[in-house]
Amino acid sequence: MSRGFPKTHRFARARLVFEVARSRSLERFPAVPNCATLWNLPAELEDAFDERWSRWLDEQSTWEDFVDGLDGIDKDLLASLRERELLTPDQEAEVQKMRRAAEDRAVPLSGTRTINNETISLLAAGFSRGEIGKPAVPYARLGD
């Protein structure tokens, strides 16, 4: 991809991965009212993300080390998140308590949530509760 997208190939790759993840997640756990997954967030948050995306494209050099560090990850998901300081020990303990539900296709976060950094971290880390060939999509029930 770097030949076709020399300036943005890392970000183009990421967008492709996002779309595949979104599609696969919706196959396993269709959109449910008042629930969010990492790949199906409230519209206002998705819009804010899209707005920032263009800024990140302009600031690619600040992301190079992080994105390059994602290539070739051979550790489990929780170890990778921990290594990048994207998961606290308390969040990891909460993830360890999560159990699969909905015919083993989903992993509910406990309680009712608002979308914030902690919820996003738990939604990402919750994918560790899946198995190879049998992913489970973490979801949060949203409060008012």
Number of separate domains in the chain: 1
Residue type at position 7: K
* Position 55 in a domain: yes
Structural domain range at position 109:
9-142
**Residue 72: CB atoms within 10 Å:** 6
* Position 122 in a domain: yes
Instruction: Return the SS3 of 18.
Output: helix
Residue 31 makes CB contacts below 8 A (sequence gap 6+) with 40
* Position 4 in a domain: no
* Position 117 in a domain: yes
* Position 1 in a domain: no
pLDDT value for 65: 82
Kindly state the DSSP code that residue 102 receives in the 8-state scheme.
T
* Position 3 in a domain: no
Pair of tokens at residue 45:
């948050």
* Position 96 in a domain: yes
pLDDT value for 112: 94
* Position 60 in a domain: yes
pLDDT value for 1: 47
What parts of the chain have a pLDDT lower than 70? 1-8, 102, 144
Residue 82 makes CB contacts below 8 A (sequence gap 6+) with 92
